[in-house]
Amino acid sequence: MSVADATTPEPARELTVFRRWMIMVAITSSTTLYAMTILIVSVVLPQMQGSLSATPDQISWVMTFNILATAVVTPMSGWLAGRFGWRNVMLYSQAGFCISTFLCGIADSLEILVFYRILQGGFGAPTIPLAQAIILDIFPRRQHSLVTSIFGMGVVVGPIFGPIFGGVLTELYNWRYAFYMLVPLAAVGFVSLWVFLNDGGRQSNLRFDWTGFLLLAASLASLQLVLDRGQRLDWLDSSEIIIEIVIACCAFYAFLIHSFMADRPFLDLRLLADRNYSLGLLIVLIYGMLNFTPMVVMPPMLKDLGGYPEAVIGTLLGTRGAGAVLGFFLAGRLARFDPKVGMTIGFSLQTISGLHMMTFDINVGITDVMLASFMQGTSVGLVWVPLVVATFATLDKRVLGEATAVFHLLRNIGSSIFISLSVTMIIRTGTSNYARMTEFVTPFNELLAFPQYLEMWDAETTIGLARIAIEVQQQADMIGFLNAFGIYTVASAAVIPFVWMVRMHKRTCDES
C-alpha cells in the first residue's frame, strides 16, 4: 500500500492559502521533532549508561530498538492512512510520541527505557512518509518543488539545534531533561495538527499483507536480539541466542515462501528483477549503516576517553546537521548530472571522514571531530537525493508505494544492524587488546623504569598499578573505537563500485 496513493479526493483549492501553510508548519515541526530524537539521545548515551548501570552494548539498545521499531512500522503507514485517514493517524502518532517521550524521561531501568523507546519509534514512524504525502496533496503541483524544499530543509535544520540544547540541559541537570524538552514541543505540534489538518487519504477495499509483514518483523526482531545480546551471552554458547537464530531463519524462510505464493505479498520479489531497484536496495542498506553509527559511537568516546562535557558533544554533533544542509544544497546543484556522480562524491566523502577518524587518539581535538561530523553530514545530503532518483528511475509508478516501503525498511535495518556490529567490535577488540597490553606491565619492562614514568606509573605500588591499569584500559578502548571506524571506512569505500553498476537512461538523467 502506497502512502503516495492515499490521497484525498478533496481538491487542494478548497483549502485557503493560510490553512495550507499552517498545515505545512504543523507537519514540518512535528516531523522535525521526531528526527531530533535520534541525535538528542546519542548525546546523552554516556550519562544514561552510568545512571542505569548499563554496559556499552546494553545502552546501544536505546538506539537500535528505536530504529528497528521505526523500520517495522514505516511500511504500515500507507495502510493506516487508507484505513483510518491521515488526520487520525497523524494525531494518534503525535499523541503517542508525546506520551512515550515523557515516559522515556521517567524510566527507572534500562528495560523500561528500551520499551518506551520502542513505543516512541513506532508512534513516530508514520509521521515522515505521511507528512510528505499530505504536503504534496494539499499544495498545487506548481508549488511542489518549493514546499518539498522547505519541508526537507526544516527536517534537516531542526536536528542541528536539538543536540545542542539537549547537551546543555543534560550537563545542567541530567539526561532525563533531553526527553522532557521534547514533550511541550510535541504537545504544541499535536494542537496545531488538531486545529489545522484536514482529513483525507481514506481508501475502501484496502488490503495489507499481515502474514508477510509479521513474518518479516519476527525475523528482523530476532536478528536484532542476536546482535545486541550475542556479545553479552557469549554467542552460540547461549541457548537463548541459538533459539533466536532459529526463529530468525525460520521466519525469514517462511516470509520468502509466502512472498512467492501470495497474490499480493508484502514484498513482490519480482521487483528485484529490476537492476536499478536491486542495486538501490543494496546501496541504501549500506547508506543506512553509515548514517547513524557515528552518532552512537562518537559520544561515548568523547565523554569517557576525551572527557568532553555533554554540551560540547551536542555542539559537535550539531555540525553534522549543518553539513547535511550543505549536502542537500549541493545535491540540487548536481541534479543536472548523472546521479552516480553525486553518490560517488558523497560516499567518497564518507570514506575520507572514516580515514580521518582512524587518526584519532585519546587527545582528539574539537576541530578534528567537527570536521569529521561535517563531512559525514554533507555526504548524507549528497547521497540521498541521487540515490532515490536512481533507485526508482526504471520502476513502474504503480509499484512505487510497495517499493518505497521496502527501500525505507532496509535503510533503517542497516542502521540498527551496523550499530550493533560496531559496538560489538569496540567491546571485543578493546577487551582482547587490554589482555595483550597487560602482558607488557612487568618489572622487566625497561620503559616503566624511566624516571619520568616512575612518579606516576610505579609498578611496585598499588596506586601506580591502578594508574597503569586505567591507562591501559583507555588505550585498549581507543583501539576498539579505531577498529569500529575502520569497518565504517571499509563499508563507505566498498559501496562505490555498486554505484557505478546503476544504469541510467539519458532521458532520465536529463529530467533529473
Q: Is the pLDDT of residue 312 over 80?
A: yes
Assign residue 432 a region (left: φ > 0; alpha: ψ between -120 and 50; beta: otherwise). alpha
Answer with the residue of higher pLDDT: 400 or 242: 242
Q: Is the pLDDT of residue 190 over 90?
A: yes
What is the 8-class DSSP label of residue 392? Answer: T
Q: Which residues contact 298 (CB under 8 A, 6 or more apart)?
A: 42, 313, 316, 317, 369, 373
Cell numbers of 147, please? 514546499
Q: Which residues contact 469 (CB under 8 A, 6 or more apart)?
A: 438
Note the pLDDT of residue 496.
Answer: 95
CA angle 312, 173, 316 (to 5 degrees): 15
Note the pLDDT of residue 453.
Answer: 65
**Exposed/middle/buried for residue 129 (C-beta within 10 Å: 0-12, 13-18, 19+):** buried
433-458 pLDDT per residue, tens: 999 988 887 777 777 666 666 667 76
Give the CA distances from residue 269 to residues 23, 277, 387, 411, in Å, rounded to whole numbers and listed in that order.
37, 11, 21, 18
405-432 pLDDT per residue, tens: 788 888 889 988 999 899 999 999 998 9
Q: Is the pLDDT of residue 7 over 60?
A: no
Give CA–CA dist 361/359, Å, rounded.
7
Mean pLDDT throughout 90-99? 94
Q: Is the pLDDT of residue 205 over 80?
A: no
Give the CA distances from residue 308 to residues 235, 271, 304, 325, 484, in Å, rounded to whole numbers and listed in that order.
34, 48, 8, 26, 20
Q: Is the pLDDT of residue 302 over 50?
A: yes
Cell numbers of 373, please? 561530523
Amino acid at 480: G
Of 373, 309, 311, 385, nearest to 342 (Cα)? 385
Confidence band of 1 (pLDDT split at 50, 70, 90):
very low
Cell numbers of 156, please? 534537516
pLDDT mean across residues, the chain = 85
Answer with the residue of higher pLDDT: 143 or 183: 183
Q: What is the dihedral of CA 309, 311, 316, 322, to 10 degrees?
A: 180
Note the pLDDT of residue 482.
Answer: 95
- Asked if 385 contacts 332 with a C-beta cutoff of 8 angstroms, the reply is yes
Helix, strand, coil % (nearest 5) of the chain?
80, 0, 20
Note the pLDDT of residue 361.
Answer: 92
406-431 core/surface letters (b: 16 or more CB in 10 A; e: else):
bbbbbbbbbbbbbbbbbbbbbbebbe
Note the pLDDT of residue 96.
Answer: 95
Of 258, 219, 206, nearest to 72 (Cα)? 219
- pTM for the structure as a whole: 0.85
Q: Is the pLDDT of residue 475 over 60?
A: yes
Q: Which residues contact 304 (CB under 8 A, 6 or more apart)?
A: 46, 477
Of 28, 13, 33, 14, nearest to 135 (Cα)? 28
246-280 pLDDT per residue, tens: 999 999 999 999 988 888 888 788 888 899 999 99
